[in-house]
Amino acid sequence: MSASVSLWRSAGLSLLILALFLGAWEIAVMPKSGGGGPALDPEYAALLGQAAAQGGTTPMPGPSAIGVRLLELLADPFYVRGPNDQGIGVQIAYSLLRVGAGFGLAAIIAIPLGFVIGMSPLLNAALNPFIQVLRPVSPLAWMPLALYSIKDSAISGVFVIFICSIWPMLLNTAFGVATVRREWLNVARTLEAGRWRTAIRVILPAAAPTIVTGMRISIGIAWLVIVAAEMLVGGTGIGYWVWNQWNNLSIADIVIAILMIGLVGLALDRLLGLGARAVAWRE
Amino acid sequence: MTAYVSIEGVARRYGPTTIFQDVWFGIAQGEFVCLVGHSGCGKTTILNILAGLEAPDDGAVIVDGEAITGPSLDRAVVFQGHALMPWMTAAGNVAFAISCRHRDWSRAACDAAAREALKRVGLDHAADRKPAELSGGMKQRVGIARALAIHPKMLLMDEPFSALDALTRGALQDEVARLVAESEQTGFMITHDVDEAILLADRILLMSNGPEARIAEVVVNTLPKPRTRANLHHMPGYHALRDHILDFLIARSRAFKADAPPAGWSARSVPEVSPALSAPPLAAE
């Protein structure tokens, strides 16, 4: 273990690294010469964008330009002006809704099923081959099948989240339940606690930290997958928004989207972290 | 006295290896019996069979005239490692046991009874602490309170003090001696500690070494009650009793062979000895 570091020193260093990075970025994307180039028909330039009209590529925006754009987006994050023009907050909300639905559905199925698998060595051995084969499949591989059988792109997105978040929860729940300390089960048996009471009062709390760890892994994967899934199905969501901004060549918006996806992912992980702390026990 | 619990010919085998077999003994109502023997003779297995946690490979355990088929609230177990649930408080652990015994009791009633039970072992101040915040001795006290709180007909203890330091162990031994005497609790305990057995037991079962272990001797503890650690070693006969058990553990436990038993030994009626009675009275100091 490394010695603990004071918060001020680590935060100071973090800020320094950030400042150096942003500074270097800003300098790197500064216009090379004092501008110039051939004079342009202003209407042509407005149509194509300044850079394209000059025959150059879209310049990479600097942190200051991105910051300005970020303030612009955050000033009105929840506007809806037609299906292709909605605020970034609305897009994130759509993504969160899909992740919530898929993840919640997976939890409802995976945790009870994992419980049963963990309690029954027979079922564990019987279902293990299926789980082992299905688990490494990229969730996006399910997308065509989902689109074909469900025939609804929005629900297909939820299904893909469901299928990718079910495995860690299923396996962790089964493992947590199967490895509950023998002596606690013996206590329950000598108290004639019965199946149900043993499951709720002994096995569930004993396995809860492992189960929540599985949920934490699942939500992380779900948040990774939602971006790719929304790029595929389109319509709404932060993944679709990223792809849309790519089509618009709005590099600043893409950078902002990356930042937002990271922050929301962090928030989701922290939320489950709070849950983990609530069910943690130590001996 | 008729036996409340009767162990009849139980055996434990792993493949071709017989750990013990042909083990017969009884425990009368209100009697406290200790089982002493070396590691590997199957002591814990016998306790688990008695508790109903394991089934014997042969024989049966008869309680109140009926063969047991599994664990029961009537036979409470104090486990070697306290076996408290770390996510419940001390009171929560005891209340869980009480709620299993009294299905119709309210949560508040269970909690109140749990605190009462903790008070009896001197832990009322620690009722709201989690096991992680308790010392080893306190944890085992909670384990004992949990077992006694359901008012079992019989208390089973599997080396309950072996993980504790000597000072704590001594204090808890006195405490258990007091609790058992107060409630005339029928009890069965496994121990390595000869003094612990003499302090608590009415009869001490001596087990020969495994494999092929048997109950080789039954030592009747005639020392008067109440016994405490402070007065125990001043009692006439104490040293004879202690020497007898130690001699067994050092030499006779190894020498005992079931196929060539000493004269007068049979598995169904193991000879009883009372070394404390035959000893010459202590010289006045």
ipTM score of complex = 0.89
The verdict on B135 and B239 lying in the same domain is no
Residue burial A229-241, b: 16+ Cβ < 10 Å; e: rest: bbbbbeebbbbbb
The pLDDT confidence band at residue A180, using thresholds 50, 70 and 90, is very high
User: Which of these three, B151, B183, B199, is where a domain ends?
Assistant: B151
User: Contacts of residue A189 in chain B, CB cutoff 8 Å?
Assistant: 52-53, 70-71
Cβ-defined contact of A186 to B96 (cutoff 8 Å): no
In a domain, residue B79? The reply is no
Asked whether residue B90 carries a pLDDT value surpassing 90, the answer given is: yes
Q: Which is more confident, A151 or A56?
A: A151
The CA distance from A192 to the nearest CA of chain B, in Å, is: 6
What integer pLDDT is reported at residue B284 of this predicted model?
A: 42
What was the pLDDT predicted at A230? 93
Q: For B162-181, give one letter per residue: b (16+ CB within 10 A) or e.
A: eebeeebbbbbbbbbbebbe
Residues making up chain A, counted from first to last: 283
Q: Is residue B283 part of a domain?
A: no
From A122's Cα to the closest Cα of chain B, the distance in A is 21
Asked if residue B118 and residue B177 are part of one domain, the reply reads no
Same domain for B226 and B93: no
Give the phi and the psi of residue B189 in degrees, each rounded to 5.
-135, 140
pLDDT greater than 50 at residue B285: no
Stretch 160-219 of chain A: residues touching chain B, C-beta under 8 Å: 183-184, 186-187, 189-193, 197, 201-202, 205-206, 208
Mean pLDDT in residue range B269-284: 70
Which domains, and CATH codes, for chain A?
95-235 (1.10.3720.10)
Pair B146, B162 in one domain = no
Range with lowest mean pLDDT among A20-34, A232-246, B106-120? A20-34
Same domain, B46 and B97: no
- The verdict on residue B98 lying in a domain is yes
pLDDT band at A154 (very low <50, low <70, confident <90, very high): confident
Residues of chain A neighbouring B77 (CB-CB closer than 8 A): 186-187, 190
| B150 interface with A at CB cutoff 8 Å | yes
B173 and B227 part of one domain:
yes
Number of domains in chain B: 2
Find the closest chain B residue to A182 by CA distance: B83
Inter-chain CB proximity B77 and A184 less than 8 Å: no
Cβ-proximal residues to B100 (8 Å cutoff; 6+ apart), any chain: A191, A192, A193, A197, B73, B150
Is residue A124 scored above 60 in pLDDT?
Answer: yes
The mean per-residue pLDDT over the stretch B229-237 comes to 89
Of B107, B123, B151, at which residue does a domain stop?
B151
Residues of chain B with Cβ-Cβ distance to A208 below 8 Å are: 87
Nearest Cα of chain A lies from the Cα of B16 at a distance, in angstroms, of 26
Q: Give chain B's mean pLDDT.
A: 90
Whether residue B268 is found in the same domain as residue B127: no
pLDDT band at B273 (very low <50, low <70, confident <90, very high): confident
Q: How many whole angstroms separate alpha carbon B221 and alpha carbon B72?
A: 29
Domain that holds residue B140: 85-151
In a domain, B233, yes or no: yes
Query: Do B42 and B104 lie in a common domain?
Result: no
Domain-ending residue, one of B134, B151, B168: B151
Residue B175 shares a structural domain with residue B206: yes
Does residue B2 surpass a pLDDT of 80?
A: no
pLDDT at B256: 87
